[in-house]
Structure 1
Amino acid sequence: MASKAVDVRQATAGDRLFTRVGAFLSAHRLSPDPAHYAFAYEVIACPDGLIARRVAELTDGGVRLTARDIEQLGGAAIGGARPALPADGEMAADAATHEAMIERMLHQLDGFGDTVRIAHAEANDFGRDLARSAAQMRDVGADAGVEEISRLTAAMIERVQHAEAKLESTRRETEELRAALDEARGSARTDPLTELPNRRAFDEAFAALAPGARVAVAMCDIDHFKRINDSFGHPVGDRVIRTVARTLAEEGGCLVARYGGEEFAMLFEDVSIDEAVARIDRVRGHIGARRLRVRETGEPIGTVSFSAGITVGLAREGRAALVARADAALYGAKEQGRARTVAAA
């Protein structure tokens, strides 16, 4: 029995370690390659080791590790980094919402089909009854069939009115469902915290560009964001994200999307890189001039800034290539001291 308890504890500890290694790979956009896993394991399993302490210094403020950082620490940087996935709770909530809408749509379609079948059957019945009355009029005389035809006509009018009411009810429900689906479609492309377009919306906007369109792509990351979260808590961190998001959107003069965490993507069209850099720097200046405080206590948060990397190119080069160049420039801005914009060569 004691042996089984030890096995359970060891398995639980192993699961926790595996989960933390996976979170480390996701946070730094590293693919699950064995070389990356070995590096992450060394950092997570030996938190007091030299490598782990150096990683903590390099990533202070929420900065992701670069390939050069990993190689300088003795690891191997392999291509094929993957983006972080949404939280399980968010995925489950979205799936449940969409499943409910699909179920409701199927129910409405079933109801609409039933209404059409009933109307069709009643029309056939009315036709047969009229044919029978016509035959009776031929055999017995016109007067004998008039009363029957009047009765059939009144009954058919009542049935038609009932069918029309059911069709109108189905039409209203269909319109309500269409509105709900439109709202869900918008929600799937909107970040719930900032109400900015999300990564999916950014990617779709880029894909819609003409191949020859000249664009500038910038990646922005809030400086020392981890320190803000650790010092004041996640609710304050969320407010900082919303403040930066709102200012970028209002003053950036371009498409601004929350790309993940404290990172934002900007898509400029037909704007020179000098003008784009000037806009980004102007936004940074306005954010830095604000004296943000914790709402509940009045405690000053300190100066909030962000670093940015930007590149220019043609849409035909592809979103991934331009984002990668802007991301590399962003890392350069972090390495040069943060609170600045660096343009990719």
Structure 2
Amino acid sequence: MMGGKVALAFEVEATVDRGEASRAVFDRIRDFLEANRLGPDPVNYAFGYRVVSDPAGPLARAVAALTDGGVRLTKRDILALGGDVSNAPIEPPAAAASGEGLVAQTQMQVEGFQDLVRAMRNETADFGRDLAATADAMRVSTGIDSVSEVLRMTGAMLNRVQNAESQLEVATREASDLRAKLEEARDNARRDPLTGLPNRRALEEAYADHVAKGSPICVAVCDIDHFKLVNDGFGHAVGDRVLKAIGDVLAEQCGEHLVARYGGEEFVVLFAGIPLAAGQDMLESARQLVAKKRYRLRESDEPLGEVTFSAGLTAASSGEDVGDVFVRADGLLYAAKADGRNCLKIG
């Protein structure tokens, strides 16, 4: 009877342990869903379980890379990373198969392959050492003549192991090269190909990162004045060179602060950790420098005429959404345009 009570006690204790472990998993999944603002539907829950149940696995690492800087996962990201979202409202599959999703999915596959290769190399290395040790022991204890055939077979097997290790080494290097290219692709996805500046996505990620750190933020929206006249009068190739020249001046004058090409002839500057007046001084220096320059066509030395830009600058409130700050800065930009252009409005 006593034995039955002990067994029952162990069973109850095991049940309690399993219950606590389950609750811990539930808590981690809940935290994951809340951090990414995902609803607790079966699809999101299943994906969250795959991430938290193997925090060092390739899926968790891919998610960490994709959400670096405070970016939240979307249904599109979950689809790209192998989640089944057939019953959830999402963007068209064609959108999910592009850019970031493919990079993240391929990165996950590469990291999984590297884990597999690493495990295989360890196993073959252990096997080879065991074979070599066995062969040496046989030579010492028995003599080469009596075990020559076994030793021959052992030597052949060792050669095969060494060849396998060489092939795995090559595969590992190729996987590392591919991973480096994927990292480069991720960087390119956040960079404007014409100016080389960060793009809108990079700006939004950097803004979210500064918000998370509690840094004071100012945002400026800059727009080249009468840019359509440049394109119409000299062609888009010249217009592209003007865009790059203005972007270079802004980047130089704004130092370590992020300057992004937002679209068209519009640039956005993200000032972090400085007061509004300091950002104003940097922008004003850039504006004056651009206005003083006399741009000419490199082919004919023909002058382009005056090239200037207008800007609006505003400080973000604590935790304010980047879209709201942009709208306010954009309104100040339009006020600068209405006030004669080639000027900066603060608000």
How many Å apart are 1:145 and its aligned residue?
A: 5.3
The correspondence of residues 14-25 of structure 1 with structure 2, limited to 5 A, is none
Partner Cα separation in structure 2 for residue 234 and residue 181 of structure 1 = 31
Partner Cα separation in structure 2 for residue 249 and residue 115 of structure 1 = 43
How many Å apart are 1:110 and its aligned residue?
A: 7.4
The correspondence of residues 182-261 of structure 1 with structure 2, limited to 5 A, is 182-211=183-212, 212-253=214-255, 254-261=257-264
Q: 1:161 to 1:239 in 2, by over 3 A?
A: same
Q: 1:293 to 1:240 in 2, by over 3 A?
A: same
Q: Does 1:316 align with 2:319?
A: yes
Structure 1, gaps ≥5 residues long: 1-90, 135-140
Taking structure 1 as the reference length, the TM-score comes to: 0.61
Q: 1:157 to 1:312 in 2, by over 3 A?
A: same
**Residue 297 of structure 1, aligned match among 280, 291, 300:** 300
Percent of pairs identical after alignment? Answer: 41
Q: Aligned letter for 1:219?
A: V
What SS class does the counterpart of residue 177 from structure 1 fall into? Answer: helix
Q: Deviations over 1:98-120 (max 9, x none)?
A: 86997899699779969977997
Partner Cα separation in structure 1 for residue 237 and residue 286 of structure 2 = 23
Q: Aligned letter for 2:268?
A: A
How many Å apart are 1:266 and its aligned residue?
A: 0.5
Structure 2, gaps ≥5 residues long: 1-93
Q: Aligned letter for 2:319?
A: R
Q: CA RMSD in A?
A: 3.7
Partner Cα separation in structure 2 for residue 249 and residue 235 of structure 1 = 21
Structure of larger gyration radius? 1
Q: 1:310 to 1:122 in 2, by over 3 A?
A: closer
Q: 1:168 to 1:338 in 2, by over 3 A?
A: same
Number of equivalent positions? 244
Q: 1:262 to 1:314 in 2, by over 3 A?
A: same
Partner Cα separation in structure 2 for residue 107 and residue 342 of structure 1 = 49
Q: 1:111 to 1:184 in 2, by over 3 A?
A: closer
Q: 1:298 to 1:114 in 2, by over 3 A?
A: closer
Q: Does 1:274 align with 2:277?
A: yes
Q: Deviations over 1:41-87 (max 9, x none)?
A: xxxxxxxxxxxxxxxxxxxxxxxxxxxxxxxxxxxxxxxxxxxxxxx
What SS class does the counterpart of residue 311 from structure 1 fall into? Answer: strand
Whether the 8 Å contact between 1:197 and 1:256 is mirrored in structure 2 is: yes
Higher RCO (CA-CA < 8 Å; seq separation 6+): 1
Q: Aligned letter for 2:251?
A: A
Taking structure 2 as the reference length, the TM-score comes to: 0.61
Q: Does 1:306 align with 2:309?
A: yes
Q: Aligned letter for 1:152?
A: M
What SS class does the counterpart of residue 196 from structure 2 fall into? Answer: coil
What SS class does the counterpart of residue 222 from structure 2 fall into? Answer: strand
Partner Cα separation in structure 2 for residue 325 and residue 331 of structure 1 = 10
Partner Cα separation in structure 2 for residue 118 and residue 269 of structure 1 = 47
How many Å apart are 1:280 and its aligned residue?
A: 0.9
